[in-house]
Structure 1
Amino acid sequence: MKTISRKQEIITVASSLFNEKGYKAVSMRDIAKAIDIKAASLYNHIKSKQEILSEIILKVAEEFTTGMENVVSENISAIKKVEKVIELHIDITVNHSQALAALNNDWMHLEEKDLIAFVKMREDYEENFRKIIKQGMDTGEIKSYHPEVILFSILSTLRTLYLWYQKRGKVDVNILKKDMVSVLIKGIV
Protein backbone atom coordinates (compact mmCIF):
# COMPACT_ATOMS: atom_id res chain seq x y z
CA MET A 1 0.00 0.00 0.00
CA LYS A 2 1.41 3.35 -1.06
CA THR A 3 1.55 6.04 1.60
CA ILE A 4 1.28 9.66 0.63
CA SER A 5 3.44 12.42 2.03
CA ARG A 6 2.02 14.99 4.42
CA LYS A 7 2.43 17.61 1.70
CA GLN A 8 0.39 15.50 -0.72
CA GLU A 9 -2.25 14.95 1.96
CA ILE A 10 -2.47 18.71 2.47
CA ILE A 11 -2.84 19.27 -1.27
CA THR A 12 -5.52 16.57 -1.59
CA VAL A 13 -7.55 17.92 1.32
CA ALA A 14 -7.17 21.50 0.07
CA SER A 15 -8.30 20.42 -3.39
CA SER A 16 -11.46 18.98 -1.88
CA LEU A 17 -12.10 22.14 0.13
CA PHE A 18 -11.44 24.39 -2.89
CA ASN A 19 -13.92 22.25 -4.83
CA GLU A 20 -16.57 22.66 -2.13
CA LYS A 21 -16.09 26.32 -1.19
CA GLY A 22 -13.82 27.94 -3.75
CA TYR A 23 -10.22 29.01 -3.25
CA LYS A 24 -10.96 32.44 -1.75
CA ALA A 25 -13.32 31.02 0.92
CA VAL A 26 -10.82 28.45 2.23
CA SER A 27 -8.26 29.46 4.83
CA MET A 28 -5.14 27.66 5.97
CA ARG A 29 -7.00 27.08 9.26
CA ASP A 30 -9.76 25.29 7.33
CA ILE A 31 -7.20 23.04 5.70
CA ALA A 32 -5.46 22.35 9.03
CA LYS A 33 -8.78 21.58 10.72
CA ALA A 34 -9.73 19.14 7.96
CA ILE A 35 -6.42 17.31 8.45
CA ASP A 36 -6.66 17.63 12.24
CA ILE A 37 -3.38 19.47 12.77
CA LYS A 38 -2.52 22.98 13.95
CA ALA A 39 -2.48 25.64 11.26
CA ALA A 40 1.11 26.53 12.12
CA SER A 41 2.12 22.93 11.43
CA LEU A 42 0.99 23.25 7.80
CA TYR A 43 3.90 25.59 7.17
CA ASN A 44 6.35 22.78 7.94
CA HIS A 45 5.15 21.15 4.71
CA ILE A 46 3.88 23.96 2.50
CA LYS A 47 4.74 27.66 2.14
CA SER A 48 1.29 29.08 1.48
CA LYS A 49 -2.23 28.56 0.20
CA GLN A 50 -0.94 29.98 -3.09
CA GLU A 51 1.62 27.16 -3.32
CA ILE A 52 -1.18 24.63 -2.81
CA LEU A 53 -3.27 26.22 -5.57
CA SER A 54 -0.29 26.25 -7.94
CA GLU A 55 0.51 22.60 -7.22
CA ILE A 56 -3.09 21.57 -7.92
CA ILE A 57 -3.63 23.59 -11.08
CA LEU A 58 -0.22 23.27 -12.73
CA LYS A 59 -0.09 19.50 -12.19
CA VAL A 60 -3.38 19.03 -14.04
CA ALA A 61 -2.52 21.63 -16.69
CA GLU A 62 0.77 19.83 -17.37
CA GLU A 63 -1.10 16.55 -17.73
CA PHE A 64 -3.39 18.15 -20.32
CA THR A 65 -0.39 19.68 -22.10
CA THR A 66 1.55 16.42 -22.24
CA GLY A 67 -1.54 14.53 -23.39
CA MET A 68 -2.22 17.03 -26.16
CA GLU A 69 1.41 16.97 -27.30
CA ASN A 70 1.21 13.18 -27.54
CA VAL A 71 -2.01 13.35 -29.57
CA VAL A 72 -0.63 16.00 -31.93
CA SER A 73 2.52 13.97 -32.59
CA GLU A 74 0.62 10.81 -33.55
CA ASN A 75 0.36 9.94 -37.22
CA ILE A 76 -3.41 9.40 -37.21
CA SER A 77 -6.43 11.09 -38.78
CA ALA A 78 -7.80 14.33 -37.39
CA ILE A 79 -11.00 12.67 -36.23
CA LYS A 80 -8.98 10.05 -34.33
CA LYS A 81 -7.05 12.91 -32.71
CA VAL A 82 -10.32 14.56 -31.65
CA GLU A 83 -11.41 11.22 -30.16
CA LYS A 84 -8.14 10.96 -28.24
CA VAL A 85 -8.47 14.50 -26.92
CA ILE A 86 -11.99 13.72 -25.66
CA GLU A 87 -10.68 10.53 -24.04
CA LEU A 88 -7.83 12.51 -22.47
CA HIS A 89 -10.34 14.88 -20.86
CA ILE A 90 -12.37 11.95 -19.58
CA ASP A 91 -9.30 10.26 -18.07
CA ILE A 92 -8.20 13.46 -16.35
CA THR A 93 -11.75 14.10 -15.12
CA VAL A 94 -12.01 10.63 -13.64
CA ASN A 95 -8.60 10.89 -11.96
CA HIS A 96 -8.65 14.55 -10.90
CA SER A 97 -12.25 15.76 -10.75
CA GLN A 98 -11.73 17.88 -7.63
CA ALA A 99 -8.57 19.46 -9.01
CA LEU A 100 -10.49 20.42 -12.16
CA ALA A 101 -12.72 22.64 -10.04
CA ALA A 102 -9.65 24.68 -9.06
CA LEU A 103 -8.31 24.62 -12.62
CA ASN A 104 -11.60 25.89 -14.06
CA ASN A 105 -12.74 28.22 -11.29
CA ASP A 106 -9.68 29.44 -9.42
CA TRP A 107 -6.87 29.69 -11.99
CA MET A 108 -7.17 33.49 -12.00
CA HIS A 109 -5.92 33.49 -8.40
CA LEU A 110 -2.54 32.12 -9.47
CA GLU A 111 0.27 34.60 -9.09
CA GLU A 112 2.94 35.89 -11.44
CA LYS A 113 4.95 33.18 -13.17
CA ASP A 114 2.43 30.45 -12.34
CA LEU A 115 -0.40 32.46 -13.86
CA ILE A 116 1.66 33.19 -16.96
CA ALA A 117 2.65 29.51 -17.26
CA PHE A 118 -0.95 28.34 -16.88
CA VAL A 119 -2.36 30.81 -19.42
CA LYS A 120 0.36 29.81 -21.91
CA MET A 121 -0.42 26.09 -21.45
CA ARG A 122 -4.14 26.74 -21.91
CA GLU A 123 -3.62 28.89 -25.02
CA ASP A 124 -1.23 26.34 -26.56
CA TYR A 125 -3.67 23.53 -25.80
CA GLU A 126 -6.55 25.38 -27.46
CA GLU A 127 -4.38 26.26 -30.47
CA ASN A 128 -3.37 22.63 -30.93
CA PHE A 129 -7.02 21.57 -30.72
CA ARG A 130 -7.95 24.30 -33.23
CA LYS A 131 -5.27 22.99 -35.63
CA ILE A 132 -6.61 19.43 -35.33
CA ILE A 133 -10.12 20.68 -36.17
CA LYS A 134 -8.86 22.67 -39.17
CA GLN A 135 -6.84 19.66 -40.35
CA GLY A 136 -10.03 17.60 -40.20
CA MET A 137 -11.88 20.21 -42.23
CA ASP A 138 -9.11 20.30 -44.81
CA THR A 139 -9.28 16.53 -45.25
CA GLY A 140 -13.09 16.44 -45.26
CA GLU A 141 -13.32 14.42 -42.03
CA ILE A 142 -15.02 17.29 -40.20
CA LYS A 143 -17.83 19.39 -41.62
CA SER A 144 -17.01 22.97 -42.51
CA TYR A 145 -18.53 24.70 -39.52
CA HIS A 146 -16.73 27.61 -37.95
CA PRO A 147 -13.72 26.04 -36.15
CA GLU A 148 -14.25 28.27 -33.10
CA VAL A 149 -17.82 27.01 -32.72
CA ILE A 150 -16.64 23.40 -32.83
CA LEU A 151 -13.81 24.16 -30.40
CA PHE A 152 -16.16 25.94 -28.00
CA SER A 153 -18.82 23.24 -28.22
CA ILE A 154 -16.45 20.41 -27.43
CA LEU A 155 -14.33 22.21 -24.82
CA SER A 156 -17.26 23.70 -22.93
CA THR A 157 -18.70 20.22 -22.52
CA LEU A 158 -15.37 18.69 -21.53
CA ARG A 159 -14.41 21.48 -19.14
CA THR A 160 -17.61 21.03 -17.16
CA LEU A 161 -17.60 17.23 -17.26
CA TYR A 162 -16.17 17.13 -13.73
CA LEU A 163 -19.39 18.73 -12.38
CA TRP A 164 -21.57 16.11 -14.01
CA TYR A 165 -19.20 13.28 -13.10
CA GLN A 166 -19.14 14.29 -9.42
CA LYS A 167 -22.96 14.33 -9.27
CA ARG A 168 -23.59 11.13 -11.22
CA GLY A 169 -21.17 8.96 -9.32
CA LYS A 170 -18.94 6.46 -10.92
CA VAL A 171 -20.04 5.90 -14.49
CA ASP A 172 -17.98 3.17 -16.13
CA VAL A 173 -15.14 5.05 -17.80
CA ASN A 174 -15.23 2.86 -20.92
CA ILE A 175 -18.92 3.55 -21.45
CA LEU A 176 -18.35 7.24 -20.78
CA LYS A 177 -15.56 7.35 -23.37
CA LYS A 178 -17.49 5.43 -26.01
CA ASP A 179 -20.71 7.35 -25.61
CA MET A 180 -19.21 10.81 -25.13
CA VAL A 181 -16.93 10.42 -28.13
CA SER A 182 -19.96 9.36 -30.20
CA VAL A 183 -22.15 12.20 -28.98
CA LEU A 184 -19.53 14.91 -29.42
CA ILE A 185 -18.23 13.73 -32.78
CA LYS A 186 -21.50 12.79 -34.43
CA GLY A 187 -22.37 16.46 -34.69
CA ILE A 188 -19.12 17.37 -36.51
CA VAL A 189 -18.63 14.56 -39.02
Structure 2
Amino acid sequence: MKSENRKKEIISAASILFKEKGYSAVTMRDLAKAMGIKAASLYNHIQSKQEILSTIIIGLAEEFTVGMNKIVSSDASTIQKLKNIIDLHIDVTLRNADGLASLNSDWMHLEEGNLQYFEQMREEYEENFRTIVKRGVANGEIKSYNIEIMVFSTLSTLRTLYLWYPKQHGIDADILKRDMMSVLLKGIV
Protein backbone atom coordinates (compact mmCIF):
# COMPACT_ATOMS: atom_id res chain seq x y z
CA MET A 1 0.00 0.00 0.00
CA LYS A 2 2.88 2.35 0.76
CA SER A 3 4.17 1.95 -2.81
CA GLU A 4 0.71 2.77 -4.21
CA ASN A 5 0.53 5.92 -2.06
CA ARG A 6 3.98 6.98 -3.26
CA LYS A 7 2.88 6.50 -6.86
CA LYS A 8 -0.12 8.75 -6.21
CA GLU A 9 2.21 11.37 -4.71
CA ILE A 10 4.43 11.21 -7.81
CA ILE A 11 1.44 11.58 -10.12
CA SER A 12 0.09 14.49 -8.08
CA ALA A 13 3.45 16.29 -8.08
CA ALA A 14 3.83 15.66 -11.82
CA SER A 15 0.34 17.05 -12.47
CA ILE A 16 1.35 20.30 -10.84
CA LEU A 17 4.60 20.53 -12.81
CA PHE A 18 2.88 19.62 -16.10
CA LYS A 19 0.33 22.37 -15.44
CA GLU A 20 3.03 24.94 -14.64
CA LYS A 21 5.55 24.07 -17.37
CA GLY A 22 3.85 21.73 -19.82
CA TYR A 23 4.62 18.05 -20.22
CA SER A 24 7.49 18.49 -22.69
CA ALA A 25 9.39 20.91 -20.46
CA VAL A 26 9.29 18.72 -17.34
CA THR A 27 12.09 16.21 -16.76
CA MET A 28 12.24 13.37 -14.30
CA ARG A 29 14.94 15.36 -12.49
CA ASP A 30 12.50 18.27 -12.15
CA LEU A 31 9.94 15.93 -10.67
CA ALA A 32 12.42 14.35 -8.27
CA LYS A 33 13.61 17.79 -7.17
CA ALA A 34 10.04 18.94 -6.55
CA MET A 35 9.50 15.86 -4.39
CA GLY A 36 12.82 16.14 -2.60
CA ILE A 37 14.07 12.72 -3.73
CA LYS A 38 16.60 11.34 -6.21
CA ALA A 39 15.46 10.78 -9.79
CA ALA A 40 16.42 7.12 -9.60
CA SER A 41 13.97 6.68 -6.72
CA LEU A 42 11.07 7.60 -8.99
CA TYR A 43 11.66 4.49 -11.04
CA ASN A 44 10.90 2.29 -8.04
CA HIS A 45 7.28 3.40 -8.46
CA ILE A 46 6.83 4.30 -12.12
CA GLN A 47 8.37 3.28 -15.42
CA SER A 48 8.47 6.60 -17.23
CA LYS A 49 7.20 10.12 -17.59
CA GLN A 50 4.89 8.74 -20.28
CA GLU A 51 3.34 6.37 -17.73
CA ILE A 52 2.59 9.34 -15.50
CA LEU A 53 1.00 11.31 -18.35
CA SER A 54 -1.08 8.31 -19.40
CA THR A 55 -2.23 7.68 -15.85
CA ILE A 56 -3.35 11.28 -15.47
CA ILE A 57 -5.09 11.70 -18.82
CA ILE A 58 -6.61 8.26 -19.29
CA GLY A 59 -7.84 8.21 -15.68
CA LEU A 60 -9.62 11.53 -16.08
CA ALA A 61 -10.97 10.69 -19.54
CA GLU A 62 -12.38 7.42 -18.21
CA GLU A 63 -13.97 9.26 -15.27
CA PHE A 64 -15.70 11.65 -17.68
CA THR A 65 -16.73 8.75 -19.93
CA VAL A 66 -18.25 6.74 -17.08
CA GLY A 67 -20.07 9.83 -15.83
CA MET A 68 -21.39 10.69 -19.27
CA ASN A 69 -22.53 7.12 -19.91
CA LYS A 70 -24.55 7.17 -16.67
CA ILE A 71 -26.08 10.50 -17.64
CA VAL A 72 -26.95 9.41 -21.17
CA SER A 73 -28.57 6.17 -20.03
CA SER A 74 -30.64 7.85 -17.32
CA ASP A 75 -34.32 8.68 -17.72
CA ALA A 76 -33.71 12.29 -16.73
CA SER A 77 -34.97 15.20 -18.81
CA THR A 78 -32.61 16.94 -21.19
CA ILE A 79 -32.24 19.86 -18.80
CA GLN A 80 -31.41 17.53 -15.91
CA LYS A 81 -28.89 15.68 -18.05
CA LEU A 82 -27.19 18.96 -18.92
CA LYS A 83 -27.16 19.94 -15.25
CA ASN A 84 -25.61 16.56 -14.43
CA ILE A 85 -22.89 17.12 -17.04
CA ILE A 86 -22.08 20.55 -15.61
CA ASP A 87 -22.02 19.01 -12.13
CA LEU A 88 -19.68 16.26 -13.35
CA HIS A 89 -17.23 18.79 -14.80
CA ILE A 90 -17.26 20.94 -11.69
CA ASP A 91 -16.75 17.95 -9.38
CA VAL A 92 -13.81 16.63 -11.41
CA THR A 93 -12.30 20.11 -11.61
CA LEU A 94 -12.54 20.65 -7.87
CA ARG A 95 -10.84 17.29 -7.25
CA ASN A 96 -8.15 17.49 -9.90
CA ALA A 97 -7.63 20.88 -11.53
CA ASP A 98 -3.93 20.14 -12.06
CA GLY A 99 -4.64 16.89 -13.91
CA LEU A 100 -7.15 18.63 -16.16
CA ALA A 101 -4.34 20.83 -17.46
CA SER A 102 -2.70 17.69 -18.89
CA LEU A 103 -6.01 16.38 -20.18
CA ASN A 104 -6.60 19.60 -22.10
CA SER A 105 -3.07 20.63 -23.05
CA ASP A 106 -0.81 17.57 -23.11
CA TRP A 107 -3.01 14.79 -24.51
CA MET A 108 -1.23 14.95 -27.88
CA HIS A 109 1.93 13.63 -26.17
CA LEU A 110 0.29 10.31 -25.38
CA GLU A 111 1.84 7.31 -27.10
CA GLU A 112 -0.11 5.81 -29.99
CA GLY A 113 -2.34 3.23 -28.24
CA ASN A 114 -3.30 5.57 -25.43
CA LEU A 115 -3.67 8.47 -27.86
CA GLN A 116 -6.19 6.56 -29.96
CA TYR A 117 -8.05 5.41 -26.85
CA PHE A 118 -8.21 8.97 -25.52
CA GLU A 119 -9.36 10.42 -28.85
CA GLN A 120 -12.08 7.77 -29.09
CA MET A 121 -13.33 8.60 -25.58
CA ARG A 122 -13.29 12.33 -26.34
CA GLU A 123 -15.19 11.88 -29.61
CA GLU A 124 -17.82 9.66 -27.96
CA TYR A 125 -18.19 12.13 -25.09
CA GLU A 126 -18.74 15.03 -27.47
CA GLU A 127 -21.18 13.00 -29.58
CA ASN A 128 -23.16 12.04 -26.48
CA PHE A 129 -23.30 15.70 -25.46
CA ARG A 130 -24.36 16.69 -28.97
CA THR A 131 -27.09 14.02 -28.96
CA ILE A 132 -28.48 15.29 -25.65
CA VAL A 133 -28.59 18.86 -27.00
CA LYS A 134 -30.25 17.73 -30.26
CA ARG A 135 -32.94 15.83 -28.35
CA GLY A 136 -33.52 18.86 -26.17
CA VAL A 137 -34.05 21.04 -29.24
CA ALA A 138 -36.30 18.43 -30.87
CA ASN A 139 -38.39 18.14 -27.69
CA GLY A 140 -38.66 21.91 -27.31
CA GLU A 141 -36.73 21.88 -24.01
CA ILE A 142 -33.87 23.93 -25.48
CA LYS A 143 -34.01 26.91 -27.84
CA SER A 144 -33.24 26.10 -31.44
CA TYR A 145 -29.82 27.69 -31.78
CA ASN A 146 -27.05 26.19 -33.87
CA ILE A 147 -26.20 22.86 -32.21
CA GLU A 148 -22.45 23.14 -32.80
CA ILE A 149 -22.32 26.61 -31.25
CA MET A 150 -24.18 25.36 -28.17
CA VAL A 151 -21.90 22.32 -27.85
CA PHE A 152 -18.74 24.37 -28.36
CA SER A 153 -19.74 27.18 -25.99
CA THR A 154 -20.74 24.87 -23.17
CA LEU A 155 -17.88 22.39 -23.44
CA SER A 156 -15.27 25.14 -23.89
CA THR A 157 -16.41 26.77 -20.68
CA LEU A 158 -16.46 23.51 -18.76
CA ARG A 159 -13.10 22.33 -20.10
CA THR A 160 -11.32 25.53 -19.08
CA LEU A 161 -12.86 25.76 -15.64
CA TYR A 162 -9.60 24.36 -14.20
CA LEU A 163 -7.79 27.55 -15.30
CA TRP A 164 -10.27 30.00 -13.87
CA TYR A 165 -11.66 28.50 -10.66
CA PRO A 166 -8.43 28.08 -8.66
CA LYS A 167 -7.87 31.85 -8.98
CA GLN A 168 -11.27 32.63 -7.52
CA HIS A 169 -11.36 33.26 -3.83
CA GLY A 170 -14.58 33.06 -1.95
CA ILE A 171 -16.70 31.32 -4.57
CA ASP A 172 -18.20 28.34 -2.80
CA ALA A 173 -18.56 25.14 -4.84
CA ASP A 174 -22.35 25.11 -4.37
CA ILE A 175 -22.62 28.69 -5.62
CA LEU A 176 -20.35 27.83 -8.55
CA LYS A 177 -22.60 24.93 -9.52
CA ARG A 178 -25.83 26.88 -9.11
CA ASP A 179 -24.69 29.96 -10.99
CA MET A 180 -22.81 28.11 -13.71
CA MET A 181 -25.85 25.95 -14.42
CA SER A 182 -28.03 29.05 -14.64
CA VAL A 183 -25.65 30.95 -16.89
CA LEU A 184 -24.92 28.03 -19.21
CA LEU A 185 -28.51 26.86 -19.45
CA LYS A 186 -30.46 30.12 -19.28
CA GLY A 187 -27.95 32.72 -20.44
CA ILE A 188 -27.44 36.09 -18.85
CA VAL A 189 -30.24 38.02 -20.50
In 1: Cα distance, 2:11 partner to 2:74 partner: 34
Q: How many residues align?
A: 187
Q: Once the 2 structures are TM-superposed, how far is the Cα of residue 4 of structure 1 from its aligned partner? A: 6.2
Amino acid paired to 1:149? I
**Residue-by-residue CA offset, 1:1-34 (whole Å, 9 max, x unaligned):** x996111111010001001111011000000111
TM superposition shift of 1:187: 3.2
Q: Corresponding residue for 1:91?
A: 91
Runs of 4+ in 1 over 6 A off after TM superposition: none
Calculate the TM-score normalised by the size of structure 2: 0.95
| 1:28 corresponding residue in structure 2 | 28
C-alpha distance after superposition, 1:74-119 (max 9, x if no partner): 1011111111101111111101100000000000000011101100
Normalised by the length of structure 1, the TM-score is: 0.95
Aligned amino acid, residue 154 of structure 1: T
Identity of aligned residues (%): 63
2:130 aligned residue: 130
Gaps of 5+ in 2: none
In the TM superposition, 1:120-159 aligns within 5 A as 120-159=120-159
Counterparts of 1:156 and 1:20, CA distance in 2? 21
Give the aligned residue type for 1:56: I
The equivalent of 1:37 in structure 2 is 37
Equivalent in the alignment of 1:11: 11
Corresponding residue of 2:54: 54
RMSD: 1.6
- Paired residue for 2:80? 80
Q: 2:184 maps to what in 1?
A: 184
For 1:168, the aligned partner's letter is: Q
**Contact 2:3/2:45 (<8 A) preserved:** no
Q: CA deviation at 1:165?
A: 0.8
